[in-house]
Amino acid sequence: MGIRVGQVAFFAGPHHQGAPDNLETVIVDFINQAQKRLEIAVQELESEPIAKAIIAARKRKVLVKLVIEQSYLKRSPLKDDPWTPGGKNEPNRAVHDAILRSNIDVKVDYNANIFHQKFIVRDREAVLTGSTNFTPTGTHKNLNHVVIVEDSKVAKIYAREFKEIQEGRFGRRNEGHDPHPKELVVSDVPIKILFAPDHNPEMEIMKQMMKARERIDFAIFTFAKSSGIDDTMLRLLDAGMPIQGVFDSKQGAQDWSPVKALSEQGASLFAAGNREGVGKLHHKLMVLDDQVVIAGSFNYTGPANLLNDENIIILGSFDEQLSPVQKAAQGQIAGFARKEIERIINIRKLEL
């Protein structure tokens, strides 16, 4: 299902938890359409169907390059007999071995912090990104989203970032200077892409929030006082801006979370996840004025902004020069995303 506006699509899952889409199927279908090359940067790869799709692409002579987070391949603490399979993350290691046996170029990240990307560049013509890790939990249990943009200019931006990642030039190790992100238009939808820490996504989110005039809705896994986003929300609440949000129930209950301060200031906040078969509320999603969507891998924390390797994709714009057609196009996507936030709030219902 999802929502598609020309070459821009937004999906929310998991479907058997009441969301509209099977995210594993969305990812597998995206990979299956590759004809020439796949550049995959993902924190964790554990899903066997996704791994099989990657291997099948390689068998079709597709050039496949892959970077993943190394911590999911380690066994800690050290086993007495490290030659015997087993232990935590063994499925990740099994997938990794199958990928290597398929003659696929795999690198583990060089980042001492968190390699937190979740994107695929297909044939330098399309990109898949979002909050979803390529795991059974990420696609079937946690509440997540996926964005697909079929456009060569967008793909070029992500391909350039992938090249830096493969060379180890990202996070605090980035020795280059990425150009300032420019706004593109795909199928009448304005799009802006930012990578952390190069482009300071936190500041961009704060700027976008300050442009809102009607309402702010969000669904976020990790939201810490170390970000400036909570301070911006507090000032907007002071000015009478309606703000509604849903947190992961465990993350939102931590002392470092701004939930209490935002609630006391008048935000309408809820908790979801970690009950009734649902895993984490893992979205990193914000909708502004039912017109602009901020999606991607970026949690609202200081480390995400300054240390981790992340991306956000902004669908829509507050540009006063937008045509009615553009406003209608971005409004369709924003409406779909807010509907999913509302669905989570209405079903999970535990108010903080």
Q: Residue 174: is its pLDDT beyond 70?
A: no
- Facing residues of 232 across strands? none
Pick 86 or 176 by higher pLDDT.
86
How confident is the model over 6-41, as pLDDT tens digits?
999 999 999 988 899 999 999 999 999 999 999 999
- Residue 4, H or E segment: strand 3-5
pLDDT tens-digit map of 102-154: 888 888 766 655 778 899 999 999 999 999 999 999 999 999 999 999 999 99
82 membership: H or E segment, kind and range: none
Instruction: State how far the alpha carbon of 67 is from the alpha carbons of 165, 214, 226, 314, 321, in Å.
Output: 8, 40, 28, 24, 40
d(Cα 24, Cα 22) in Å, to the nearest integer? Answer: 6
* Closest-CA residue to 9 (of 171, 170, 148): 148
Average pLDDT of the segment spanning 39-52: 92
Question: Contact, 55 vs 98, CB < 8 A?
Answer: yes
Ramachandran sector of residue 285 (left: φ over 0; alpha: ψ -120 to 50; beta: rest): beta
Which token pair is 324?
């009615």
Whether the upstream peptide bond of residue 14 has omega within 30° of 0, thus cis, is: yes
Question: Per the confidence metrics, is the pTM higher than 0.75?
Answer: yes
Domain annotation for the chain: domains and CATH numbers: 3-166 (3.30.870.10), 182-351 (3.30.870.10)
Angle value at C-alpha 336, between 334 and 341, nearest 5 degrees: 90
| Angle, alpha carbons 181-292-238 (nearest 5°) | 105
**pLDDT tens-digit profile of 279-308?**
899 999 999 999 999 999 999 988 777 777
Distance CA 63, CA 18 (A): 36
* Residues contacting residue 177 through CB under 8 Å, at least 6 positions apart: none
Q: Across-strand partners of 29?
A: none
- The pLDDT assigned to 92 comes to 74
Q: What is the dihedral of CA 334, 332, 24, 58, to 10 degrees?
A: -110
